Amino acid sequence: MKRFILSFVFAAALLVQAAFAQLETSPLSVKAGEETHDFTVEMATTPEQIQQGLMFRQELAPDAGMLFDFGVTRQASMWMKNTLIPLDMLFILENGEVIAIARNAQPGSLRSVGPGVPVRAVLEIPGGRAKELGIEPGATIVHPIFGNTGG
């Protein structure tokens, strides 16, 4: 029975990883003060993708992340259920401004994390990366969903 359960969990994890391989990726920049930091992010745009997020990931490259595009400005509540790595969550207004940052969210936590105000999107990057790069509230996320790419 124990072997069956382990096999089932392993198979489920493989299915989840296969689903991630199909997410669209997109370049994104973070302007923090005089610095600009470039990332390649996976786009979570459907309710299923948003619910799944970065669950079951065992690593995330320093210049990678996931952008949760809600399509409209709304209340956002994130959690770390089944998430294996710490993450920084950047809560972003319609114009691309970072309004709040949840730093080093604890893997596996069921605690709800949110800024308390409606946001358009959330950017998740590796835990500690925002501090390392000097990203603070007031930074600007440059991406087509915010209409601020200039092109």
Q: What is the helix, strand, coil percentage profile of the chain, to 5? A: 20, 40, 40
Q: pTM here?
A: 0.86
Distance CA 81, CA 106 (A): 9
Domain contains 9? no
Number of folded domains that form the chain: 1
Domain contains 74? yes
pLDDT < 50 positions in the chain:
6, 14, 16, 18-20
Domain contains 75? yes
Q: In the numeric block, which tokens belong to residue 125?
A: 């990057």
Domain contains 63? yes
Distance CA 27, CA 45 (A): 15
User: Is the Cβ–Cβ distance between 90 and 133 less than 8 Å?
Assistant: no
- Among 72, 108, 71, which residue's Cα sits nearest to residue 87? 108
Q: pLDDT tens, 92-108? A: 999 999 999 999 999 99
pLDDT value of residue 150? 81
Domain contains 11? no
Q: Residue 67: which CATH number?
A: 2.60.120.1140
Supply the range of the domain harboring residue 102: 24-146
Element (H, E) at 105: strand 98-105
pLDDT value of residue 146? 97
